[in-house]
Amino acid sequence: MGKGIICVVWVSVLFVWGCGPKKQENKSGESEISGKPNIIYILADDLGYGDIGVYGQEQFGTPNIDNLAQHGLLFTQHYAGSTVCAPSRSALMTGLHTGHTFIRGNKSPGEEGQFPLKAAAITIAEVLRKAGYATGAFGKWGLGFVGTEGDPNNQGFDQFYGYNCQGLAHRYYPTHLWENGNKILLEGNDTHKTSVYAPDLIHAKTLDFIKEQANNPFFLYIPSVIPHAELIAPKDSIWEAFENKYNENPWGTDNTSGSRYQGNDYGSTNYHPKGYASQERPRATFASMVTRLDRQVGEIVQLLEDLGIAENTLIIFTSDNGPHVEGGADPTFFNSSGAVRGNKRDLYEGGIRVPMIAKWLVAIEGGQQTDHVSAFWDILPTLAELAGTEIPEHTDGISLVPTLKGVDGQAKHDHLYWEFHEQNGKQAIRMGNWKGIRLNVYDDPRGPIELYDLSKDIRELNNVAEDYPEVVAQIEELMETSRTENDDFPFNRQ
């Protein structure tokens, strides 16, 4: 399975940590762990493969996320469900890739909320709630407005707090959030004033959920909005650490250079709730936002330890797709895609290969890494198996439990499939070390396929399609057979 004690990570970052879980007593003084694991799944928003220290980030540190890897398992070949928000989350929640899942693109039927998941969808939350788990989601939903069949409370979550709509989640100082079906107005945020930083409020509610459910098995889904644009953060000690670090040009200086971004500002006459605020120091702001997320991860881990439930809690940290370029973001400066090519909205590796780290002290030996090829649709069967409940019959996923536990018997995918419904349509297949990509599908559904050997060309720079026509033919067939039609998201020009 490609696992071993980490001395040098895939991107040549040195590890010098010890391995193995540390036993601890719970509130009752018991040292033995029994029963179902608590599960915490943290989903960053538009965080690139190279935006974490253990994956090679050098412009800022992520010590708490890195610490998950020190005591857990780092995946080097894990893939998001899609290259943008809604379909990626649909693939995660349903265990179905974008050729089969219900939501295959970003679509907003109204001013707030996205196209809803169908009532027929079987989600991770529904599977785990049936297995006796308390379920909570805190952050950005994006799979159906309040009251629709896609409402998180109608898709298995006992509690929801945060942004229902991914469009309104562009704003870090929104006028309101949602708590289950109730609209929560945020005093001090009125499109002019910026008093309440929503990620901090959501994080506080997340910690409350852990405290409330400490004596019960729980599934906690944390789809953070960080570091999706807009780029904005409180001017606190985190910000101050980066304010002057990157030689950026603030307003009032020479306007012929620098990285500042002119956007749609709070208080402006043309303010739009789905816009991005101007930012004079986008690099500093991005670094401070990821640092804030990292500190939130550290506070979650510390709370688990304080409550005596850390040892039998599985924490998974990942991202929903590759790094964005909106709102002044500068993924080139930060090398956010790491050793791979591409950004959000690409089906090259940089758009869909994402970091994933799993920490579970009672079962995962620390300081490990794996090159097992996995994807978002594997998470549902994995968590179902860990919960001791039946894996839904219709899933594209394969349980990762053997990989997590470091035992033999890990099944592998014959191939992975993606389709993307923007930029004139795209398809991609990962088959062994081969990667096939077709662009401009709407114009030419049988158009040329680019072919890359990822074992030799991780940046996908050398198209070898002409040299391997038989491989191209296999991938072309898989692009046809790996998908079903979806009337809500037809794979043609809309």
pLDDT at position 120 is 97
pLDDT digits (tens, 9 = 90+) for 273-323: 999 999 999 999 999 999 999 999 999 999 999 999 999 999 999 999 999
What is the mean pLDDT of the segment spanning 169-195?
97
Out of 3.90.1150.10, 1.10.486.10, 3.40.50.1100, 3.30.1120.10, which CATH number does the structure's domain 415-494 have?
Answer: 3.30.1120.10
Is residue 345 over pLDDT 50? yes
Return the domain boundaries, the chain: 4-18+35-251+259-413, 415-494
In this prediction, residue 32 has a pLDDT band, given cuts at 50, 70 and 90, of: very low
- Equal CATH topology for 4-18+35-251+259-413 and 415-494: no
pLDDT at position 252 is 59
Is residue 440 over pLDDT 60? yes
Dist CA 313 CA 360 (whole Å): 6
pLDDT digits (tens, 9 = 90+) for 135-178: 999 999 999 999 999 999 999 999 999 999 999 999 999 999 99
Is residue 457 over pLDDT 90? yes
pLDDT at position 22 is 39
Count Cβ atoms within 10 A of the Cβ of residue 11 and give its class: 0-12 exposed, 13-18 middle, 19 or more buried: middle
Is residue 4 over pLDDT 50? no
What is the mean pLDDT of the segment spanning 203-222?
98
Mean pLDDT of the chain: 92
Dist CA 353 CA 343 (whole Å): 10
Is residue 256 over pLDDT 90? no
pLDDT at position 33 is 46
pLDDT at position 260 is 87
Is residue 34 over pLDDT 70? no
What is the mean pLDDT of the segment spanning 39-47?
98
Is residue 403 over pLDDT 80? yes
pLDDT digits (tens, 9 = 90+) for 225-254: 999 999 999 999 999 999 999 989 766 555
| H/E run at residue 380 | helix 379-386
Instruction: Just give the CATH number of 4-18+35-251+259-413.
Output: 3.40.720.10
pLDDT above 70: percentage of residues in the chain:
91
pTM here is 0.93
pLDDT at position 253 is 58
Task: Please check whether residue 287 is in contact with residue 242, taking contact to mean a CB–CB distance below 8 angstroms.
Answer: yes
Residue 190 sits at φ, ψ, to 5 deg, of -135, 30
Is residue 354 over pLDDT 60? yes
Is residue 494 over pLDDT 80? no
Residue 379 sits at φ, ψ, to 5 deg, of -70, -40
Q: What is the DSSP code string of 423-486?
A: TT-EEEEEETTEEEEE--TTT-TT--EEEEETTT-TT-----GGG-HHHHHHHHHHHHHT----
Residue 251, number of CB atoms within 10 A of its CB: 11
pLDDT at position 129 is 98
In this prediction, residue 258 has a pLDDT band, given cuts at 50, 70 and 90, of: low
